[in-house]
Amino acid sequence: MKTTIAIISFCWTLHAAVSARFANNDVNVDNHFNWAHLPKECGKNKELEMRIFGGEDAALGQFPWMVRIGATKGDLRGLVCGGVLINANHVLTAAHCGENGVTIAFVRVGEYDTRTNIDCDQFGCAPPYQDLPVVHWIVHKNWNTDTVQNDIALIKTKKKAKFNDYVKPICLPGRESFFRSYKAEGGVSLAGWGETNNSTYSIMPKVLQYVNLDVMNLRECQNTYIDYNITKAQICVGAGEGHDTCEGDSGGPVMKELKLNGEYRWYTIGIVSFGSPDCGVAPAVYTNVRYYLPWILDHITP
């Protein structure tokens, strides 16, 4: 991996922007047989009596598809990346999460506050988080650690997640005709448990964090990362003016809330891939989920 970039997670500074096209808009996956393995009810969070806008702490149940990915290396065991639940036993994340000799071992769903097993707010308590053992770690066959292309992976768990208000799948940007001409632009949201500062000493938040950013033109990222070829298989997020992704949440989602067919739903449109080693000073690069829909559908199994 070249040293001019950092494989990233979350560092929060303030304000940014997203306007690159969804790659492969012409992909037609309407009739793919594996849509049957994805839930029709997706992308709906708990109805919150009090939402947080522009803050750093997410509300309990705001992003119920958020996943923490656990890995082992020798005798060591820890949480290394983020991801999103797309059905009861599949998680979408980044391929680079499995680098550096680690074995992807389990996923944790229903996490919110890392200090507690049962999380509560003024409206009630969530069930304990669920740790699900991994049965398959599926990396894109063309994942390239040098070019950081095809940075996408799927996890299949041995057990199915038990859905509740705090554990739900997010939608993929696929079957609706809307996505065939959709231009990824404007505001998006990112969430994770990664670093919250840019200092020498890492500060990892205890509670799930989120940030609202904008999509940038791909040229913005190409001009920033001149040693890398930024393609339509990626999207560019943030303007280096504040909030950014940083160390701790690689593999986490870029999310967009859209009203389609009269309903608001959340869709995952990107995956945290790489960015500047100094958080918040430049836009970052994300894997374009829409581009990889055929691959995702091809690798989902019952």
**Does residue 30 surpass a pLDDT of 90?**
no
Integer Cα distance of 93 and 267 in angstroms: 14
Of the ranges 2-11, 16-25, 131-140, the best mean pLDDT one:
131-140
Residue that the structure tokens 């669920």 belong to = 130
- How far lies 66's CA from each of 56, 129, 170, 252, 290, in Å? 16, 11, 9, 8, 19
Beta carbons of 74 and 41 less than 8 angstroms apart:
no
- Indicate the average pLDDT of the chain: 84
Beta carbons of 204 and 195 less than 8 angstroms apart:
yes
Q: What is the pTM of this model?
A: 0.87
Q: Which pLDDT belongs to residue 174?
A: 81
The model's pLDDT over 31-77, given as tens digits with 9 standing for 90+, comes to 899 999 999 999 999 765 433 333 489 999 999 999 999 999 999 99
Catalytic positions are 96, 151, 250
Integer Cα distance of 243 and 285 in angstroms: 14
**Does residue 227 surpass a pLDDT of 80?**
yes
Please give the backbone phi and psi of residue 286, each rounded to the nearest 5 degrees, phi first.
Answer: -130, 145
Q: Which helix (H) or strand (E) holds 214?
A: strand 209-216
The model's pLDDT over 147-201, given as tens digits with 9 standing for 90+, comes to 999 999 999 999 999 999 999 999 999 867 677 666 666 789 999 987 655 544 4
The one-letter amino acid code at 83 reads G
Q: Give how far the C-alpha of residue 39 lies from the chain's centroid of Cα atoms, to the nearest Å.
A: 18
The answer for 248, left when phi > 0, alpha when psi is -120 to 50, beta otherwise, is left
Range from 194-203, 237-246, 285-294 carrying the lowest mean pLDDT: 194-203
